[in-house]
Amino acid sequence: MKLTDVKTLARGVIVNTYEFPFSVSRFCPGPALFTLITLNPSTPGSKCTRPAEKLPAAQVRARRPLAPNPGTAGAAAPPPAPAPAQRHRPEVCCGSVAGLAARLQRQFAVRARGGAGPCGRAVFLAFGLGLGLIEEKQAEGRRAVSACQEIQAIFTQKNKLLPGPLDTRRWQGFRLEEYLIGQSIGKGCSAAVYEATMPVLPQNLEVVKSIRPLPGGGPDVIPREEEPASQAPAFPLAIKMMWNISAGSSSEAIFSTMSQELVPASRAALAGEYGAVTYRRFKGGPKQLAPHPNIIRVFRAFTSSVPLLPGALVDYPDVLPPRLHPEGLGHGRTLFLVMKNYPYTLRQYLCENTPSPRLATVMVLQLLEAVDHLVQQGVAHRDLKSDNILVELDADGCPWLVITDFGCCLADERTGLQLPFTSWYVDRGGNGCLMAPEVSTACPGPKAVIDYSKADAWAVGTLAYEIFGLSNPFYGQGRAHLESRSYQEAQLPALPESVPLEARQLVRSLLQREASKRPSARVAANVLHLSLWGEHTLALKNLKLDKMISWLLQQSAATLLADRLTEKSCVETKMKMLFLANLEYEALCQAALLLYSWRAAP
């Protein structure tokens, strides 16, 4: 039954129904339905003495009495309010579908027991009709939720990561001597990274094409005479050697002190001689992060003696052990992490390339998907920056982003994302410039707690400036430099007009000072998904649930077909699969509401 049928069938009763196709808040899981029921004085036999007011939808408010519109041109002054016993005010039934249905059912039962006159019978009929409509909308909402869950289940299975290069060699790769180590890839404040390979890796292993041939020299470097330059092996792996200044030389102490680095490590990565034994002894230690395509995978983690690697005496002599450098302060043993070798960091990629606005939007979307996964796992990275994001290119040259370096992360089983901030000695994270306002302005106290649930999403908002071709406003010095502790939202620089409206508005939303006003990483990712792939659906003036579900089913079929037809899915296909694997009805509705509000704004 259509909503307009209520007015024609319920003679003597005016039923104004205002329908919002999406959930208004997280506490209203189904479509919100607001029903206004008013007696019609023009009906013969009606005892109503006050004319029915035709109110616009803007005046219907949840759980508030209706008020006359003072700004209506030419409207007569309202008559004095009659006594409470004789006043006939319109009744507003509002809230979620389930709550409204329950209220109508109670009133329906009361009227059925007490009987009613002609006017009462009309109201009785209106309640019955309204109840039928509500139950119909409730069933429609349940069908939408069920469809989202079924789509999510299908793509959750499809999104399983491919086996790693060392998965077929379960008991190998836990000793440094098994690897051939090449040149330095880079170094940070706590580690150095080198290219590496295993001599008997499978020949069909995907390799990184941008690696340079190895020069000779050093006990852990391939001698040039053993492998001609023309046939130099590729280095698909990267080994991260941590600098051990204070952890001691025992494997148990090293694993305990550097446990945050092990958050993205799989169980197989810790199955070595020391890892499986020592890591399980810790109580209340860091969480083990479930794999995600936009988050680094650690294939192996083990301890070993510190070797003299190429460039060590020049790049980091002070952290070497005394046996390698007389003035070194490091211990003789440290932690090694084996990962995939990526050709660029995000900073390097942006220095050499200028992505188009659409491509840049897809890059920001990848970071939001990764951050959402971290939040769902109860982990905060706390050190997001362009140097800690790795990049590889697909067959079409589209960048795929991967978050790395979890040395500053918050991944405590006991506290989750709520960090007790009892003193200034509590570590708040790594990158002070890109620290969210609720973190940088926090003051310690007996009951003080820092909420990191939206801190990483705020950092993604700052990185969006770099991805869209501008300098990060929270870096540098001078007038243009902003500080997270004190900036105002009006000071944020405008993104170029070539950037899509939805992306510009989303970046500003992510950078709001109050965390409660920011969208979550899931909702923010859905905004970009809808903006990128759902433009035709969003263009509909009256978007209904059935149209949204039809679009989701079409996207599911097209994505499955595209994934099957190509050996290696392109970046956009992978992002669609992630979107459908994380599909939630409520978060999708919130994202659609945000998009509609931004497009409707002048």
List pLDDT tens digits, range 368-394: 999 999 999 999 999 999 999 999 998
5 is catalytic: no
Q: Which of 383, 405, 412, 456 is catalytic?
A: 383
pLDDT confidence of residue 534: 84
pLDDT greater at residue 576 or residue 207: 576
Select the highest-mean-pLDDT range: 98-102, 138-142, 285-289: 285-289
- Please tell me the distance from the alpha carbon of residue 422 to that of residue 428, in angstroms, as a whole number: 11
Of 482, 173, 528, the C-alpha closest to 339 is: 173
Torsion angles phi and psi, residue 403, rounded to 5: -80, 135
Helix (H) or strand (E) holding 374: helix 357-376
Q: What is residue 37's three-state secondary structure?
A: strand
Average the pLDDT over 493-522 and give the result. 95
Structure tokens at 186: 């880079």
Q: Do 276 and 244 meet the contact criterion of CB atoms below 8 Å apart?
A: no
pLDDT confidence of residue 154: 86
Name beta bridge partners: 335.
Answer: 303
Res 507 pLDDT > 60: yes
Res 63 pLDDT > 50: no
**Among the ranges given (29-33, 428-432, 580-584), the one the predictor scored with the smallest mean pLDDT:** 29-33
In Å, how far are 15, 52, 98, 109, 442 from 124, measured between CA atoms? 12, 18, 20, 10, 57
Q: What is the pLDDT confidence band of residue 170, given thresholds at 50, 70 and 90?
A: confident
Structure tokens at 46: 């009606």
Select the highest-mean-pLDDT range: 36-50, 114-128, 460-474, 540-554: 460-474
Contacts of 146 (CB under 8 A, 6+ apart): none
Location of each CATH 3.30.200.20 domain in the chain: 165-341
Res 124 pLDDT > 80: no
Res 213 pLDDT > 70: no
Domain 165-341 has CATH 1.10.10.10: no
For the full predicted model, state whether its pTM sits above 0.75. Answer: no
Select the highest-mean-pLDDT range: 32-46, 86-100, 244-258, 379-393: 379-393
Res 24 pLDDT > 60: no
Q: What is the pLDDT confidence band of residue 19, given thresholds at 50, 70 and 90?
A: very low
Average the pLDDT over 474-485 and give the result. 82
Q: What is the pLDDT confidence band of residue 219, given thresholds at 50, 70 and 90?
A: very low
pLDDT greater at residue 264 or residue 134: 264
Mean pLDDT in the chain?
76
pLDDT confidence of residue 270: 81
Average the pLDDT over 254-277 and give the result. 80
| Percentage above 90 pLDDT, the chain | 44
Q: What is the pLDDT confidence band of residue 599, given thresholds at 50, 70 and 90?
A: confident
